[in-house]
Chain A
Amino acid sequence: MRRKAPWMRVWMMTMIFLMMSGFQVASAQQPNFSKVKEYRIERSVPPEAVACIECHRAKTPGVFADWAKSRHANANITCMDCHLVQPGDEDIAKGHETYYNRSDMPYGEAKYKVPIASIVTPKDCSRCHPDEVIQYSKSKHANTLEIIWKIDPWLNKGMNSDNERKTGCFNCHGTVISIDDKGAIDPATWPNAGVGRINIDGSKGACTSCHTRHRFSVAEARMPEACDQCHLGPDHPQIEIFEESKHGTMYHAYKDEYNFNAAGGTWTAGVDYRAPTCAACHMSGSGKVTTSHDVTERLSWETQAPLTIRPSEFKAFPAQTQWQAEREKMKNICRQCHGDSWINDFYKGFDTSVQEYNDVYFKPAKAKLDELYEKGLLDSTKFFDEHLELQFYELWHYEGRRARMGSMMMAPDYAWWHGFYECKPRLNEFMEEADHVIETGQKAYIYPDYPNATGTTKRPEKLFPEGK
């Protein structure tokens, strides 16, 4: 073996030393983060807003960095443009005002003091985006808390606890925000970005559900991931259904090529995206159909309801739409990529699924349940505390929904294996048990001490004022 020349050794040692010292310097400078995002005030920003930005840049760098990357920052929209309130407003964050007399903070001076609210509501957003807020306010999203308080036995019969609701139901459906005399938000109602949140100013919902703060990105809301925090799981697996559908498969295969940042009103099928996402069909404009923030506008069936009905017939919140017109809108969206026979034949399958679910599975079960109540064999004081009630609930709320939604969005596994396949034994077992109860005349067993059924049954007054 030849020995390396001495100059070669020296050169290699030097290189190694230089590389190591280089790494050391770099790691000493940047323990965790890459370079901290800079911000120089180079545009006309009021001094109070400069104070917000500079202080939050230090205290909540994530919020700052998010905002700095947003279109709002591009347009010189600062914290104050959304968070500012008028003196005397109910939702002033009084705790925040104490920061303005803190000498240990660079901007902790009274001259920067402005009243702000922590929660920015759709009403605040309507100052710049009024049409979007008008559309959103008509949607089932905005009114979803009222809807569940009208129909849901978990709430109305008090079958779960307040905290189970806060961390579960209300996380998506929204809380009724309340603020005490000291200006502190009631922790039982906050934090919350539910689509149906009831805000102090009377507006409904939270734009940040889909356009998360502080980016407020249109691109984000166009992705199916924007919807999947709520639309998943055994009772409304829209995201799983989407993933299984051809649309979802293509989305995953080609999303790197998608242009999610297209300007509002220009996002185009076949140009900016290859297969649609949730937003593409339910909200975005396509062809002659204009964009709407009323996400439930284009529905022609209420596939979530126990008995499938038209959206205008949904008693808890009758849509102000005509299903034929809305279906035509949806078909127009399909037409961006599909021919008429394809679309019409698809809808035949969906309509048949709905009709079969209604007639074969739901109606007989409902008739049987009514008979049990009528004969006094089931107790109607509470719900879920008898096995048959739970069976009935899961028939429509679990597999019944999956069958219908799976058919609608073309996910075969959800239409069949998680859907109609499971409806069959559920209905059989329900019927068997019900018939047995009727034959023997022995009242159904009631689970004593239903666990954690401690939640209030009082409907929120803000939604249901006394006497209405």
Chain B
Amino acid sequence: MKKYIIQSVLICVGIVLAFPLFSTLYYTMVRTSTPGFCASCHEIKPAVRAWGASTHVNNAAGVMVDCMDCHLPAPQDTFDFFFSKTYHGIKDVAIHFFGDAYDRDKSRNAAYEFFDNDQCQKCHRNLLSMPHSRGAMLAHRSVMHARPGYEKRCVDCHYDLVHEDKTSVMFRQYRKQPYQAKGLRVEKLGI
């Protein structure tokens, strides 16, 4: 009987100690996962501003795609997610204080290399049957069933989607012309 009491007390103490710990961690995660938090670094502000004007924010479905949805591994890969987030957080702060001046183009290219197709395909899964994007069928097949040596990332073609500096907000439903990827980035052509 005495044994059970000790166990119960230990469990209660554990809960009392762990709950604030976990909730603090969780709270921290939530607080540091917003576009607003990302924009608290002045280097990132232009990227967040462009994102805010893009169709990944403004669309008829009301879906908003946050920084993390694209730039970090899917939360179901919990370890990768936490590791990546922490790594990038520390790295960005370190470079801010000790690194070279921020070069947006350089960082942009570095970010492309970090993009897994899975990150886009969390949402964009039905890529092979889009009756109004005729070219997409051929191009997407060459990505989803890539020939050996011709593997491609989504961002190889879709590199002008979000972080394009705009003078006005772009609403997806008011696009006057259909969205088209511009084709492979010149860097991807090996020239």
B131: which A residues are within 8 A, CB to CB?
A: 44
A81, A129, A201: the one within 8 Å of B186 (CB):
A201
0/1 per residue, A115-158, Cβ < 8 Å to B? 10000000111111111011001100011000000000000000
Docked CA distance A131–B147 (Å): 9
* Chain A residue at minimum C-beta to C-beta distance from B187: A202
Is A230 part of the contact surface with B, judged by Cβ < 8 Å? no
Is B181 part of the contact surface with A, judged by Cβ < 8 Å? yes
Name B111-170 residues within 8 Å CB distance of A.
131-132, 134-135, 138-139, 142, 147, 150, 152, 156-157, 160
B158 CB to nearest A CB, Å:
11
B188: which A residues are within 8 A, CB to CB?
A: 134
A114: which B residues are within 8 A, CB to CB?
A: 176-177
* Chain A residue at minimum C-beta to C-beta distance from B181: A127
0/1 per residue, A75-93, Cβ < 8 Å to B? 1110011001010000000
0/1 per residue, A18-48, Cβ < 8 Å to B? 0000000000000000000000000010101
A44, A76, A80, A143: the one within 8 Å of B191 (CB):
A143
Docked CA distance A134–B187 (Å): 11
Is A166 part of the contact surface with B, judged by Cβ < 8 Å? no
- Max chain B C-beta neighbours (<10 A), residue from A123, A126, A202: A126
* Chain A residue at minimum C-beta to C-beta distance from B156: A130
* Chain A residue at minimum C-beta to C-beta distance from B147: A131
Known contacts: A44-B132, A128-B138, A131-B142. The answer to whether A138 contacts B190 by CB under 8 A is yes
Known contacts: A128-B139, A201-B186. The answer to whether A75 contacts B147 by CB under 8 A is no
Docked CA distance A429–B33 (Å): 80
B152: which A residues are within 8 A, CB to CB?
A: 130
Docked CA distance A401–B132 (Å): 51
Is A321 part of the contact surface with B, judged by Cβ < 8 Å? no
Known contacts: A137-B191, A204-B191. The answer to whether A84 contacts B180 by CB under 8 A is yes
Is A70 part of the contact surface with B, judged by Cβ < 8 Å? no
Between A and B, how many residue pairs show CB distances below 8 Å?
81
B176, B183, B186, B191: the one within 8 Å of A127 (CB):
B183
Is A161 part of the contact surface with B, judged by Cβ < 8 Å? no
* Chain B residue at minimum C-beta to C-beta distance from A127: B183
B177: which A residues are within 8 A, CB to CB?
A: 48, 80, 84, 114-115
Contact status B180-A127, CB under 8 Å: yes
- Max chain A C-beta neighbours (<10 A), residue from B132, B142, B178, B184: B184
Known contacts: A48-B177, A142-B191, A143-B191. The answer to whether A134 contacts B184 by CB under 8 A is yes
A124: which B residues are within 8 A, CB to CB?
A: 182-183
A82 CB to nearest B CB, Å:
9
Contact status A126-B180, CB under 8 Å: no
A202: which B residues are within 8 A, CB to CB?
A: 186
Is B189 part of the contact surface with A, judged by Cβ < 8 Å? yes
Docked CA distance A81–B180 (Å): 8
Is A355 part of the contact surface with B, judged by Cβ < 8 Å? no
Contact status B157-A130, CB under 8 Å: yes
User: What is the predominant secondary structure among interface residues of chain B facing chain A?
Assistant: loop
A131: which B residues are within 8 A, CB to CB?
A: 142, 147, 150
0/1 per residue, A192-214, Cβ < 8 Å to B? 00000000011110000000000
Docked CA distance A201–B178 (Å): 20
* Chain A residue at minimum C-beta to C-beta distance from B185: A123
B181: which A residues are within 8 A, CB to CB?
A: 127
A115: which B residues are within 8 A, CB to CB?
A: 177
B8 CB to nearest A CB, Å:
63
B132, B178, B182, B189: the one within 8 Å of A134 (CB):
B189
* Chain A residue at minimum C-beta to C-beta distance from B146: A131
Docked CA distance A84–B177 (Å): 9
A467 CB to nearest B CB, Å:
18
A265 CB to nearest B CB, Å:
11
B156: which A residues are within 8 A, CB to CB?
A: 130
* Chain B residue at minimum C-beta to C-beta distance from A48: B177
A86: which B residues are within 8 A, CB to CB?
A: 160, 182
Contact status B183-A125, CB under 8 Å: yes
Known contacts: A127-B183, A134-B184, A137-B191. The answer to whether A46 contacts B135 by CB under 8 A is no
A127: which B residues are within 8 A, CB to CB?
A: 135, 139, 157, 180-183
* Chain B residue at minimum C-beta to C-beta distance from A132: B142
Docked CA distance A46–B180 (Å): 14
B150: which A residues are within 8 A, CB to CB?
A: 130-131, 134
Docked CA distance A76–B134 (Å): 8
A201: which B residues are within 8 A, CB to CB?
A: 182, 186
* Chain B residue at minimum C-beta to C-beta distance from A146: B191
- Max chain A C-beta neighbours (<10 A), residue from B150, B182, B184, B189: B189
- Max chain B C-beta neighbours (<10 A), residue from A80, A125, A134, A203: A134
Known contacts: A46-B178, A75-B134, A127-B157. The answer to whether A133 contacts B142 by CB under 8 A is no
Contact status B178-A126, CB under 8 Å: no
Extra pairs beyond A77-B134, A123-B186, A134-B190 (17, CB < 8 Å): A44-B131, A44-B132, A114-B177, A123-B182, A123-B184, A127-B157, A127-B181, A127-B182, A128-B135, A130-B142, A130-B152, A131-B147, A134-B184, A134-B189, A203-B183, A203-B186, A203-B189
Cβ contacts A to B, 8 pairs, < 8 Å: A77-B135, A123-B182, A126-B157, A130-B184, A131-B147, A133-B183, A134-B188, A203-B186
Residues of A within 8 A of B (CB): 44, 46, 48, 75-77, 80-81, 84, 86, 114-115, 123-131, 133-134, 137-138, 142-143, 201-204, 290
The 5 closest A-B pairs by CB, nearest first: A126-B183, A137-B189, A128-B135, A123-B183, A202-B186
